[in-house]
Structure 1
Amino acid sequence: MIPIISIVGKSDSGKTTLIEKLLPELTRRGYRVATVKHDIHGFEVDREGKDSWRHKQAGAHTVVISSPEKIALIRDVEKDLTLDEIRRRWIQDVDLILSEGYKKDVQPKIEVFRKEKHKKLLCTKRDSLVAIVSSQKFSVGVPCFPLEDMKGLSNFIEKEFLKSKEEKEVSLRVDGRTIPMTPFVRGFLTKTVKGMLSSLKGCKTFQRIEIRIEE
């Protein structure tokens, strides 16, 4: 399952700036990163008068804008989705998800703190706080990184949340639920599926395997 880390902090703490500085270091190391921005006030990504905007205004539940370089999806939702729901429904083929906000979500959090703007931390370890980025030192049981130390922060993320390129993730989902597997079962499943595929035409090499069985 793709790991998620929420970058949290009070207003004007520098959450977006941290993500902007962190992304180049992680991508330089070969990781593919997705980002999710939480906006509790609502937002519009389309421009009034454009064809896709007209589709939505006419009643389309989902609008997809596609080009040779990128794709965008605009979709109505009935509630504020959790990060896990967003991950399961729409994010694939990445190594890490960084979210901005989502301070009430259960995912691990890195808090950005600026002592000149705020008096106390927003989160504690009970809120799934795993690290702090600040010019101030804290003794709260989690590592604290200077505001400009993207290498140190990336080392921490890499060690705690990212697997090496040689390791392959195997997951089993039944009716939308992730089923825990012991190392033996995971290894047995991997070898069995790979052995089966090796006998099929066009399956000698692959990057990702997906099997879907419906009753």
Structure 2
Amino acid sequence: MRIIGLAGWSGSGKTTLVCRLIPALVARGYRVSTMKHAHHAFDVDKPGKDSYEHREAGATEVMVTSANRWALMHEHRGAPEPCAEDLIPHMTEVDLLIIEGFKKEGHEKIEVFRRGVGKPLLAVDDPNIVAVASDGPVPETDRPLLDLNDTEAVADFVVRHCRLGAARREGVA
């Protein structure tokens, strides 16, 4: 499974780019999954739901399943937060896994950069950043510069860089 990360400061447009890249790559016939790092206070479960009650009762893992999807919630219960590398084996094999966030980890990443956010360029100190997707010029780096607003060009870069090769076409409209 090929992996590319999207890293950047809050407000830079990582999620927006991921949500544009997914359909662009799926339209080319690639199977794509994502992993997103969230703030520590996030929760997908709600009080009053059976799954919430199971977790509150002490279950380490709770799987919720239906005819449409399944979700597995794992409670750390005091264990340290896992890194992306530890979580990847839990993902189903696809052509490309896009990891959003985890900006300090060692996988290859495209930095999403907007000068208007007022934060420094991550690529200056991170050798794992292979390109910068920006809404303007970025003279502080020698990495390939991608137009943040040109989804097809970013998708082209991802396909080339990750060596995705010929896509599976069955079931693709």
The verdict on how the C-alpha distance between 1:124 and 1:97 changes in structure 2, with shifts beyond 3 A counting, is farther
- Residue of structure 2 in register with 1:146 after alignment: 147
The structure whose Rg is larger is: 1
Tell me how far apart the structure 2 counterparts of residues 44 and 144 of structure 1 sit (CA, whole Å). Answer: 35
Match for residue 72 of structure 1? 71
Q: 1:117 to 1:125 in 2, by over 3 A?
A: closer
* Percentage of pairs with the same residue: 36
Aligned residues of 1:7 and 1:15 also touching (Cα < 8 A): yes
Provide Cα deviations, 1:45-77, integer angstroms capped at 9, x if missing partner: 111101111111111111000111111001123
Deviation (angstroms), 1:127 = 3.2
**CA shift digits 1:75-96 (9 cap, x unpaired):** 12322212221111x1123111
Q: Distance in 2 between matches of 1:7 and 1:126?
A: 13
CA deviation after TM superposition for structure 1 residue 141, in Å: 2.3
- The CA distance in 2 between the partners of 1:79 and 1:156, in whole Å, is 35
Q: Displacement, 1:153?
A: 0.9
CA RMSD of aligned residues (A): 1.9
What are the residue-to-residue correspondences of 1:56-205 with 2, within 5 Å? 56-77=55-76, 78-88=79-89, 90-118=90-118, 120-124=120-124, 126-139=126-139, 140-165=141-166
Structure 2 runs not aligned, ≥5 long: 169-173
Cα deviations by residue, 1:26-55 (Å, 9 ceiling, x for unpaired): 111111111111124232111110111111
- State TM-score, norm by structure 1: 0.71
Number of corresponding residues = 165
**After superposition, where does 1:7-22 map in structure 2 within 5 Å?**
7-22=6-21
Q: Which residue of 1 aligns with 2:171?
A: none
TM value normalised by structure 2: 0.87
CA change 1:164–1:125 in 2 (3 A) is farther
1:52 counterpart residue number: 51
Once the two structures are overlaid, the 10-residue window that deviates more, 131-140 or 42-51, is: 131-140
Which deviates further from its counterpart, 110-119 or 50-59? 110-119
- CA separation in 2, counterparts of 1:40 and 1:73? 18
Task: Assess if the C-alpha contact under 8 Å between 2:135 and 2:148 holds in 1.
Answer: yes
Structure 1: distance between partners of 2:58 and 2:149: 46
Higher RCO (C-alpha 8 Å, min separation 6): 2
Task: Give the letter aligned to residue 147 of structure 1.
Answer: L
Structure 2 distance, partners of 1:64, 1:92, is 16
Amino acid corresponding to residue 87 of structure 2 in structure 1: I
Structure 1 spans left out of the alignment, 5+ residues? 168-215
Structure 2 Cα separation of the partners of residues 128 and 166 of structure 1: 26
Q: Distance in 1 between matches of 2:129 and 2:38?
A: 21
Determine the C-alpha separation between the residues in 1 that align with 2:128 and 2:34.
19
SS at match of 1:112: strand
4+ runs deviating over 4 angstroms: none
